[in-house]
Amino acid sequence: MTGQAYDVDDIAAMAAQLERLPAPTGDEPTLVALGAAIRDYLRVAPGRVSASDAKIALGTAILDLWAHLDLAEDAAPGSTGSSPSATTPGVLLDADTLSIITIAAATAAVDAGDNEAGVAVRHARSRIDEASRVAPRLAGVRDAADALGRHTAFRLDLEAGRAERIWRAMFAFATDRTPLVPTDVPDDARTLVTTVDDRIDATDAATRSALGAAWPAPVSGGTIGVRELPSAPTVTAPEPRTVREQPTRGVPVWFATNRTPTTRSDETSGYRNALDGGELHYGRCFVTVPAVDEVTGGLLDFVSAWFRIGSTRAARFRVESFYRFEDGGSFRDELGAELGRMSEDARSMLMYIHGFGATMRSAAESAARLSVAIKHPGATAMFSWASRANVLRYWDDERTVDASGAALDEFLQTLATVDGVDHIDLVVHSLGNRLFLRTLVERVRSGAVLPWPLRNLFLGAPDIDQSEFLNDASAYGQARGTMTLYGSNSDTALLISSLLHQTARAGLMPPPVLTDGVDTIETSGIDSSWLRHSGILESPVIHADIAQIRSGITDPDDRTGLHRVDATPVPYWRY
């Protein structure tokens, strides 16, 4: 079968084979567990809307390789068995060998950067390299898998940040001190991997795109199914730009906005810094994520940090494309389909509401940067109200906030009806806190049951009067999880707002705003963001705290770096 191109029928056959694999139990050796984690991720990820050509290619290859595992019920786990493979007679791969091939192929294109995922991936590679010196037969398998990985240019170090289960398995494998010495490596393994590489080479890009559309997707009951498509894709002329187009490496940000579209007749246009009456537009944009070597070190980063002239890293997250849906229903259906292709532990929504002075693009870039920083595994959304994005138009932004409550309420209700949205973790910054709290209070005072599936609320530098915040903070109790406020004693933006309003702001301390149900965190000691106002967007320490809360560590006394300050009526915490 060397040189034979993949087609849709291959996907169906491989999915049928993989359905027979047992679910992970947690008792497998780390090597097998990691290989299975990558396999399971790649069995779903290439079918997502955001799947790159490289992800589809490597996903197809890993599916094909694992389909050659001896699945006879009487075969012992890890044994080479004796029954032939369904698609390549005479070739049998044990679970250890397949895990090595999977890891080697998925890590061949790892970057040399020093982010956590990159370090863990390189450690994993070093373990396999060392094992190949101890077991020379493994060297050929590793080399063939490397060729496969380099061919597809798949970047597991980037994917690990969005695939939490793979990240945990990779980290455990990289730090495991148990020697990696496979007992047996089938002679035909290298030939098989090379054959898969040849098949990818023979499969054109149009066919790969069709494979992505036909990819196995989770269906009811947790089994793997295949969408019904023609057995062979038909290559046609490129269609007009659609919602499926996206950059190779990026974060999709699902949004609603009451901004005016730049061009109403073009669904791919951007948005102006002006309110579009009572219209609410639904869409999705893709934000490119910088490569590791673009955000570490360098004179520009040094000078920027020294003179505190803003984050050069933030600028490198760039909106690649916009797409506007016809209505909220089509938005809901597309987002639901995307969540349906995710694993159950990733079916959560991270939502962001920006503050004063944000453009549509800067808001989307902030949402994507936050998603990457806290290693969010699910979908990312934002509500972008029509800020004028002008430091001299603060009063206009305040009036826009007052006019945007109904639009925010509608967006949250739409998200609540999306299939697969189990909960929403909401991050609100600056003036966006006034919009959210007033919208929440209006909903609570109406007497209706709150339909929004809110879990954790993260309130960054709230630009709202302290007395209003304290009077209405009980409304936050409608959320099912925690409420955390991050404030500072050196927030220049809130100091200016306090002078303009002649009242203290909730995010500026002293005094800290203290009320039951809201954990107040003073960030003065760790917030080095511009004007000390954007710590929730830029501070790794705050990002780590958010990640701990989302993982279930909700008591501030149990979280890293926080020190309790006893006060009345409730304590607060500081770094």
The DSSP string of 194-205 is HHHHHHHHTS-H
**Residue position matching structure tokens 């054109």:** 204
Rounded to whole angstroms, the Cα distance separating 256 from 324 reads: 9
Rounded to whole angstroms, the Cα distance separating 138 from 31 reads: 14
As a 3-state breakdown, the chain gives helix, strand, coil percent values, each rounded to 5, of: 45, 15, 40
Tokens of 570: 């409730």
Tell me if 496 sits within 8 A of 506, measured CB to CB: no
Rounded to whole angstroms, the Cα distance separating 45 from 473 reads: 40
Tell me if 515 sits within 8 A of 473, measured CB to CB: yes
End-to-end CA gap in the chain: 61
Tell me if 102 sits within 8 A of 206, measured CB to CB: no
User: Which helix (H) or strand (E) is 207 found in, with range?
Assistant: helix 205-213
Cβ neighbors of 293 (< 8 A, separation 6 or more) are 111, 112, 113
Tell me if 355 sits within 8 A of 463, measured CB to CB: yes
Nearest to 216 by CA among 348, 59, 336, 99: 59
Strand (E) positions, 461-511?
A: 483-487
Return averaged pLDDT per consecutive 10 residues of the chain, 575 residues in all.
Answer: 76 76 69 86 75 84 82 41 39 80 87 67 85 82 89 78 71 78 74 87 82 64 39 33 43 96 90 92 90 46 48 63 91 89 81 96 94 90 95 92 96 91 93 96 82 91 96 87 93 93 93 93 89 91 93 91 93 94
- Residue 534, φ and ψ in degrees, nearest 5: -120, 30
Overall residue count recorded for the chain in this entry: 575
Helices (H), 115-163: 116-134, 136-152, 156-160
For residue 21, the SS3 value is: coil
pTM over 0.85: no
Nearest to 488 by CA among 501, 507, 463: 507
Q: What is the pLDDT of residue 292?
A: 46
**CA distance readout (Å), 492 to 297, 474, 510:** 28, 28, 13
Cβ neighbors of 558 (< 8 A, separation 6 or more) are none
Delimiting residues of CATH 3.40.50.1820 domain(s) in the chain: 250-574
Rounded to whole angstroms, the Cα distance separating 341 from 135 reads: 39
- Residue 148, φ and ψ in degrees, nearest 5: -65, -45
293-303 in b/e burial notation, b at 16+ Cβ within 10 A? eebeeeeeeee
For residue 342, give the DSSP letter.
S
316-337 in b/e burial notation, b at 16+ Cβ within 10 A? ebbbbbbbbbeebeebbebbeb
For residue 519, give the DSSP letter.
E
CATH architecture of the domain covering 250-574: 3-Layer(aba) Sandwich (3.40)
Phi-psi region of 552 (alpha: psi -120 to 50; beta: other; left: phi over 0): left
User: Which helix (H) or strand (E) is 547 found in, with range?
Assistant: helix 540-550
**CA distance readout (Å), 102 to 94, 175, 180, 257:** 12, 18, 15, 42
